Amino acid sequence: DIIRTIRDPEKPNTLEELEVVTESCVEVQEIGEDEYLVTIRFTPTVPHCSLATLIGLCLRIKLQRCLPFRHKLEIYISEGTHSTEEDINKQINDKERVAAAMENPNLREIVEQCVVEPD
């Protein structure tokens, strides 16, 4: 429910409407007392999607802000669905790169527009 309302950076649709994320792409495992591993696998609309890293960043930011429990978060592109999936997976799961990206005011503004809750 948390990620279904995230908007696509280029289109007026949500990631759920575009089938970039589906309920089956979310996995939650208990890894300790009151601690969970949340794994998201998303599917870009095209194999060369230039916004795949931005979409992964939006997923990470929204989940970090909204999950009400202690968690470890792993976000991946669904295997075989993007031409540079390995590089993008490294980027969106690297805390320092994510922090650096969110320091960029233009990038932060785009992320905020994508993750804002609809009225």
Please state the CATH superfamily assignment of the domain spanning residues 23-111 in this structure: Fe-S cluster assembly (FSCA) (3.30.300.130)
* Dist CA 20 CA 16 (whole Å): 6
Per domain, the residue ranges of the chain are 23-111
Mean pLDDT in order along the chain per 10 residues (119 residues): 92 94 95 93 91 95 90 94 93 95 95 88
CB neighbour list of residue 115: distance below 8 Å, 6 or more residues apart: 6, 7, 58, 61, 62, 65
pTM of the model: 0.92
* Dist CA 73 CA 53 (whole Å): 15
Contact 42, 21 (CB under 8 A): yes
Token code pair at residue 44:
């870009």
Over the stretch 94-104, which tens digit does the pLDDT of each residue have? Answer: 999 999 999 99
